[in-house]
Structure 1
């Protein structure tokens, strides 16, 4: 096998080499032990399969400038962060080798190895964050280039208490931050009444999209004002100067598990300094100064979504 020169040394045992047009390696699978020194510590990319939770070899990837981009690790390594050392099995860098993202676990979910198995292996992390100290099992952490935390993603089974611009509230899924450390978005774990430009609204998304904590349904400006939220508890009556009236409510859909079960779809609301928008639709955007708004209770007669079908 042809010896491959990389920024981190010469590699002789590897598989599945892919290259950029420049000839630099884009990705490959190591089949020998290689130590790579990075600004956050020495790592050993995965080169063999050693347990039932990691049955396949995953490639390490590089940027075209030769710097490491993404590396699954053979064994967990203690990675240096601004919040202390964190045991990590998968690490991602920016193109200048600055730490971007870490995963404390990097198992393989399959018919024989599922989320419950992976969650059982996860360990609690205690982190002193801008929103307060939290202790929870975490799927991943994302960082800004300055080292400040950008977001955390919690395991679905986890709930934490976090300080937000509107007070301390129970949070699930994740939390994201602005670069200065102020809270950018959270996912309320239960309905939580927040003050908005049109009055108090119960913020809650019963079916948040995805499992990443970068973007959550309750969002704030860096001054702490609510800029977006989802609600299953309230409806909005909008009245314009001409006497017209429009009512926005959460909607309904058929459950994925049963044709006889109907579930609630949250009403989504966004604010700018001058407008309000419903359900991400530009055709449902109104000038705040030209309308009056009434927030009322929504009588929910539907179920929350669930995806474990009998």
Structure 2
């Protein structure tokens, strides 16, 4: 069973598992048990990954710098609408993809957003990195809250009996 604990961070107090700390005791990274809202100059983000893959990918859902600021997050519930100064538009959000565990099912793959001083670096559901410099893109946050519910749903995968009703 995962060790769940209450952690105090710059974005509030929440229950989390797999918490890592800096030497001074501040939180380095954590796996929130519920959505955590992160405010950034580009919008309000939802840090949350309730997919079965989160345990296998070994990437934290929320990461903090030594100063306590959020440096990166994984999300199912936040998408980005990016309008380039050149007129191009990008829509980035968690997408359904074939399960990398070869179960034959499709799974919702979260996106990862890294926050830098002058840009966002987004890793999309296909693992592609997209640089979004603030001087080249207007970024608008979009909420994909249905993904949070659907991401935790059971696909009745042949490799997992975790969601089956006892006795079936």
TM over 0.5: yes
Q: Which runs of 4+ in 1 moved over 4 A?
A: 255-259, 280-283
**With structure 2 as the length reference, what TM-score do the two structures score?**
0.75
Contact 1:175 1:186 in 2 (8 A): yes
Equivalence for 1:162 = 7
Work out the CA distance in 1 between the residues paired with 2:97 and 2:19. Answer: 28
| Aligned pair partner of 1:272 in 112, 116, 119 | 116
Work out the CA distance in 1 between the residues paired with 2:103 and 2:153. Answer: 11
Equivalence for 1:171 = 16
Work out the CA distance in 2 between the residues paired with 1:266 and 1:252. Answer: 9
Equivalence for 1:293 = 139
SS of equivalent residue, structure 2 residue 121: strand
Q: Give the structure, 1 or 2, with the largest relative contact order (CA under 8 Å, sep 6 or more).
A: 2
Distance change >3 Å, CA 197–CA 221, structure 1 → 2: farther
| Aligned pair partner of 1:240 in 64, 81, 84 | 84
Work out the CA distance in 1 between the residues paired with 2:111 and 2:128. Answer: 15
Matches within 5 A, 1:102-251: 155-156=1-2, 158-172=3-17, 174-206=18-50, 207-210=53-56, 216-251=60-95
Superposed CA RMSD: 2.8
Cα shift at 1:188: 0.8
Distance change >3 Å, CA 166–CA 294, structure 1 → 2: same
SS of equivalent residue, structure 2 residue 108: strand
Cα shift at 1:211: 8.9
Cα shift at 1:290: 2.5
Contact 2:119 2:131 in 1 (8 A): yes
**With structure 1 as the length reference, what TM-score do the two structures score?**
0.43
Cα shift at 1:192: 1.6
Which ranges of structure 1 fall in alignment gaps of 5 or more residues? 1-154
